[in-house]
Amino acid sequence: MISAGTFHVISTELTVGMFALAGIAFLLCALQKGPESREAVAHWALLGGLIATPLAIISGVNSVSGEGIDNPMLANKMLLSMTSAGLAVGVLLRKKWGASVDLRHSSIGMVSVALMLTTAGIGGEYSRGETLLLFIPKETVLLFPVWASIAIMILGLAIVGKSTVQHRS
């Protein structure tokens, strides 16, 4: 039987590797250099990393000693990985809906990758005490207050409620 910690290492390496490959391919897309397969590689690697992300999160939560997420670094890891996953879903949906892979599309893909790699860096500091992210504050959790979350939700519902397509009668 594989322990939660060992499974977390395996799933994390898979997630980080796929996101890193996607990041390189998105960089090539932004520069418009490299083989024609760069767009396919970017999106398939992003999808692979996105599929592996829940495995890394669940195994990470199970391998943490203590009563859940009581460390600010772990809370930041959850926040950053969920933000990265949301951006990745948006990039993949935009591509599925037929959008071109332009500079903006590639940049959002690279931001998703950067957030996931930052998550991995925080994990390295949490588990081994070593990181390349020396200047990023990891002991402060940046969360919205409840009132701001409610205001954004109401704004989002108001925007979705209005059709952006003009219909002719």
Q: CB burial class (10 A; 0-12, 13-18, 19+) of residue 113?
A: buried
Q: Is residue 50 part of a domain?
A: yes
Dig out the tokens for 7 from the structure: 């499974």
- Can you give the CATH number for the domain in which 78 is found? 1.20.120
The model's pTM: 0.81
Tens digit of each residue's pLDDT (9 = 90 or more) over 86-125: 899 999 998 998 888 999 899 999 999 999 999 999 888 8
Q: Is residue 88 part of a domain?
A: yes
Q: Is residue 47 part of a domain?
A: yes
What is the number of structural domains in the chain? Answer: 1
Nearest to 42 by CA among 18, 22, 17, 27: 22
| 100: containing domain | 4-138
Tens digit of each residue's pLDDT (9 = 90 or more) over 11-40: 999 999 999 999 999 999 999 999 999 999
Q: Is residue 81 part of a domain?
A: yes
Which pLDDT score is estimated for 137? 75
Q: Is residue 167 part of a domain?
A: no
* pLDDT class of 45 with cuts at 50, 70, 90: very high
